Every structure is written in C-alpha cells, then in structure tokens.
Structure 1
Amino acid sequence: MSAAELGALTADIAHEAGDLARRRRAEGVSLAATKSTLADIVTEADREVERLIRDRLRAERPDDGFLGEETGAAHSASGLTWVVDPIDGTVNYASGIATYSVSIAVVEGEPHPDRWQGVASAVYAPALGELFTAVRGEGAWLGDARLAVTTETPAGALLGTGFGYDPATHDGDLATVRRVMSMARDLRRMGSAAIDLSYVAAGRLDGFFERGLNPWDFAAGALLVQEAGGTVTRLEVESARPMLIAGGPGVHERLRALIADGAG
C-alpha cells in the first residue's frame, strides 16, 4: 500500500471504531477495570473497540505490528506498526462528556516514539462528528479542509494540557502550568490528548504540553501537528514521565524554553 492508501485505511477503521464507541456509549457504559489509579478507568467499550481495530488490521495488514493501549504489542514483519488508543479520554467517555476520540497511527521503523516515523494517522471524535487525518508529506486535514497551525499569538497563546491521574504528580504539573502562564492567553484541559493535538493542528489551540503520555496517546496527533506545519518534541525521555510539547514553531520554542528552565 502507498502512504495515501494507508491513510485511507486508517481513516476508515477510525470511523468504524468511533461509531462503535458512540453506539456503546448510548447503550450505557460498564466499567471493566481500573488502570494505574481508580480515576484511570477502562470500559468494556475500550476493549471491544480495540478488538474491532485489531480484527480489521489482521484481515487487511497481517504482517504489520500493533501497539495498543488495551491489548499490548505484536511484532511487525513489514516494518510498519499500528499505534492505537481505542478510546482516548475514557473518563470523559464514561462521564458522558463529548471530548473523547479514537486515535490510530501507522508508523515506520522501531516501535518506539523517538525512533519511528509517522506514515498516516486519524483521530476521530464521534460525539463531535470530526475526523482529523494526516499522511506524511500530504498535509493534515479535517474533512476536505487542510489544516495549519497558528503562527501569530498577539494576545498570548491559547494552550492545552492534561494532568496525570496519580495525585502524587499533581503538584509538579501545576508548577509547570504556573511557569507557562507567562506566555498564555488562557488554558484548556480537554481530557483527550489526541483531541488536544488535533486542535493544535487545526489552529484552535496554539500549543499543547503534557507530561507522562503513552505512545498511543500522541502517535496520531503528533503526525497531525507536524503535517500542519508544527513541531512536536519530547523532553526528559529517560524519565518515568517524559514531557511532550507541540505547537507552531514560535509557540513550541517558547513553551520548550519555559518548561526546560523549570526542569533545570
């Protein structure tokens, strides 16, 4: 498959998976387990949606690898790996808040975010009716509209962020917020990193930062930002909670300087 064909497949699977998630939400959510803390929940729908995605990929791309939030990793014989968060924003999903998404990326190279290269991605927010897509070298899109990051923030940057579920991390996260507010017009906390990154790509947010994200949280959104003309980097990658920073070039550099200064 070409990159464009992989992009079409990614979008199709994300759309099908998101529609399943939306139907299950309408039927009522049941809690299946907890993850790292009681606040970090997983629903039966998470598992069902990821099974749907894996089944589609087994049928259409059997030699590709897989890295999913719910069902772990599978080796790649093709050099391509699918990085999947079946429902990004599970707490929102369980609570009836519309900002949740299906996040799917196909990447090339080692299945590690500092060594792979994004090929195609899709972030579908079914409750919002928005499908964001990107293909390497072909731009980022919302439907038929090409996306571009913001380049000017005369009133200050509108920033997105998120906090870890472990209460022990909250003081550090709030300290970072205090540092970056010197460049901010305001702050948004959506509850889905994939949507946050999609909004950076669309120019709705000027920048985004969050510590402790997993690869499936940002693989799709990072390619969206990059293909929309933005920059995505990770700091402190050897730590337990690396920092991810995304935005247009100017906002990204200012965010990076403020956050790195605080870390030092």
Structure 2
Amino acid sequence: MNPLETRMKIRRQEMTGTTSGLCEQYIQTNMVTLPKAYAFDFLLFCMRNPKPCPIVEVMEAGMSRPAAADADIRTDLPRYRIYRNGSFSEEVLHLNDVWQDDFVTFLIGCSFTFEKALLDGGIPLLHQEQNKVVPMFDTNIPLQEAGIFKGNMVVSMRAVPNHLVDQALAISHDFESSHGEPVHAGAPEEIGITDLQKPDYGEAVTFDTDEMTPLFWACGVTPQNAALQARPSIMITHAPGHMLITDKKDPNYSIDS
C-alpha cells in the first residue's frame, strides 16, 4: 500500500500496530503535541538536542494537517499516548475527543525512515523478522535543558552482525533528519542500560551477542521522557513505534529505487 492507503486504514482503525516496515522509503515521523504556552520551550529543546529531536515540521496552533502529507495527525497515527501533568494518562487510537485549538504539533524525524536503506545494505532488522516493536531504552546520556524540558536521551536498539557494523554506521549517517548514525555501539552498560531483554519501550529481540553488536540510535521517544520531568498540563505523543507516515520520500533514496 502507498502512504495514503495506509493512513486511511489507520484512520479507520483497521491497522493499529507498529509502522516499522510500512511504506518503505517514505519519511515517518514521531509526534509531540503541546498547548501553545509550552511550544517555545519545546522548540528550543529540540534545537538544542537535534540528534534525538530532529524537527521535520512545526504545525501552528490549531492545525492538524501537516504540509508533507495529505493527513490528519488527530487520526492517522496508529496509537497515541496522553500525558497529564507529567504522568502517563492513557493510550488512545485517535485524538478527536481531546483536541484543543491551542495545540502546537511537532513532527520529529524517525529512524524507521532509514530502515529500508539498512535492508538494502544487507543488514537484517530483527524486530521486523521477529514481529516486534523495536526495543527502546532510557539512558544516562544527558540532554541540554530548555525551559521546563530536560532529562536524558532515549535510544532505539538494532543488533547488527559484527562485520556489518561499519556499513550500518555509514548508511544511517546520511539520514540526518532521521537521527543519523548511532550515538553508541556495544557495551550498553556504558550508557546506563543494564538488560537488553528489558526495554523501557517496545519489545525485546533475541540475538547472538557473540555474532552481533547492539547499535543505539537517538530516539524520538526522548520527549516522552522529558515530559515526565517537565510536567506540562497535557502532552500528546505517538505511542512508541507507531508513527505518522508521510507522502514524502526521503531524498537519500534514489528516484528509481
């Protein structure tokens, strides 16, 4: 299916699972929606932390249709998470019941965008093979503060065959608007991860630790971590692994691919 067909199925709630592997080569984005009163602080937070929060688009107060897609962010992500006063409140399939006219929405680059490039480079994606949501972990990597927003980075993990690590780094390096190359390789304990089988978000994948190296990419779930400390009155995000699929191809993919 093309992006529009996929979003229509999501809008009708016929598809509610992870968007990894869907509409390959098209840009996918994380989403953060906040009342306008918090928008400047969050914009500054993203600008100071571009690795986990690469901004693709900022939608003005009350807007629900992004420029890069014939879409509606209130209905066209498979799952959303709502945080109230810094605490997780609920996970929902649409935002029609909670939408406010003062909401400002930030679309943030997602590593799902470059997964097709990894596959084309011969790099397996275990979360797809094992039908899992990509594992994501809280870390001890500090972020630069901006207003009320602060905290540590969240990362997504993909285990890569040892002999393909350099290739994975090179491929993802070019996708700067989708987090770029990993922030860490191997030795998860160095960034505060104690057990790869107990992710903070997503689902664990199984792999041979002798044959494969865990690579950790900055992740757009990072704002959810920051929200726990910032405690805005309401903050809405994508559910981890459940992105907005846009109509735009990433320019790193060739026109003929």
**TM-score tier (shorter):** under 0.3
TM-score (norm 2): 0.26
Q: Which has the higher contact order (CA 8 A, sep 6+)?
A: 2
Structure number having the greater helix percentage: 1
